[in-house]
Amino acid sequence: METKKEHWPLLSFKEYEKDINPNPTYQRSAVWKPNQKRLLIDSILRKIDIPKLYLRETNSNGFTYEIIDGQQRMRALWEFLSNKYPLSEEAEEVLVGDELFEVAESTYDELPPKLKLERIHKYTLDVVIIQQATEDEIADLFYRLNNGTPLKPAEVRNAMPGEMTKSIRELARHRFFSKVSFANFRYAYDQVAAQMMMLELNGGPSDIPDRLLSKMYADHQKKAPKVAIDRMTQVLDTLDKLFPAKSRLLNRAETVNVYLLISFLQPGNKLTKTFYTDFLPWYQQSEAKRLRDNEYKLYMTSAANSRRSVEERFKIVIMDFFASFPAIGRVNASHSHAEVADGAALGRVTHLRIAGEISEQDDFVEAGHAPVIAKLFCFRQLFRRLFFLFYQALETLPINFGIQFKFRTQLCNQLRIGTEDKVHVISGVERSSHV
């Protein structure tokens, strides 16, 4: 990477507008407010130096340069010179020599000619040109230049070099994100996609604050986690089908909730047409009801990215799901690969993966043996909570060509799992289940 410093007259900089790409992948969108833009122009009129602009020499996509640092200033300058906004109504007079000039509420064309000549036409910008740089070198430079500025954490991560950055950037472009209720302002989609990735890497509910997300980017800088990326893509594909249009329910926290739900349900199961038909009406109705619950709202708003809040929200959602989808239908399993027969809503019980855990010699397992049973659940944190609640209710898990979970009567309204299994040590498990 090579650099060279130049001094560009302000008006010449305006002539480069068509030659400079203002939106390379590592850049944030335009975020400056009108008052910030006006203050910049006021500084120039008073001969106050402004920071350097960094441009990359690229000669690609029809551009000669792309902006590395100074995008907000660059846009503000271009817009003012194009008369797209006036100076502040509170702007004080500008002294040039022994003359005072009124500038309040003036556009560029409305400025006095002498003032424009002395303070605009003669003003020069310090520009640093970056040559022969790789993508990672540019991303690293952007990160260094902006590390001490008030960028959003998602914007800083988007500028970090590495494979995780590229993967999250691509996942955030998935069509599902066009269905959410929040805008992609300052890389909001990348933020939620990164949280989803963190949940996948941790195998379920976990802490997803910015601090840990940034560490995840750094830990996977050289190699992206392909298994987690593939799994996340599959879940996003399913969500895209479940939500055919933009939904006002899909704010940031709820998007994480529904992602966790589908990520929990999908592996090893074939989601049927009945499931795809019934899911959205159920989710719309049940989420509206949950949002009236003070406990649920607390976990949605208070420390929403903490493990406890994520886990408690998920527990509430999954219990509502089990209560609303009582019939799962017949599941045929062979070598732990399950398939849901036609007419079944969903084969969730296959997550117990009983066939893969039963020893050929054992014909009885104590259901109260937590270490053994815990292996049968994908989300171990969830099971530990459920097991603690239901420990006294769970009696036995007899296995002798037949498996049955027995719960006390008072649990029926909260969680009901019943299975009758015919186990063949060669072909696997044929299972009919209800939850």
User: Quick one: pLDDT band at residue 26, thresholds 50, 70, 90?
Assistant: low
| Residue at token pair 């049973």 | 373
Query: 9: which 2 tokens?
Result: 């007259």
The answer on pLDDT for 56 being more than 50 is yes
Assign residue 59 a region (left: φ > 0; alpha: ψ between -120 and 50; beta: otherwise): left
Predicted confidence band of residue 433 (pLDDT cuts 50, 70, 90): very low
Q: How many CA atoms lie within 13 A of 13 on its CB side?
A: 30
pLDDT score at 340: 28
Rounded to an integer, the average pLDDT of 217-239 is 93
Could you tell me the pLDDT band of residue 422, with boundaries at 50, 70 and 90? very low
Contacts 24+ apart (CB under 8 A), 45-49: 45/94, 45/103, 45/115, 45/119, 45/120, 46/94, 46/119, 47/119, 47/123
**pLDDT reported for residue 12:** 84
The full length of the chain comes to 435
Every domain of the chain and the residues it spans = 2-146, 152-319, 326-435
Distance CA 357, CA 378 (A): 13
What are the tokens at 170? 């691509």
Query: H or E segment at 9?
Result: strand 2-9
Determine what percent of the chain is predicted with pLDDT higher than 90: 37
Q: pTM (2 decimals)?
A: 0.50
Calculated CA dihedral for residues 199, 201, 206, 210, nearest 10 degrees: -80
Residue 173, pLDDT score = 93
Assign 426 a pLDDT band (cuts: 50, 70, 90).
very low
Q: Which residues pair with 217 in a beta bridge?
A: none
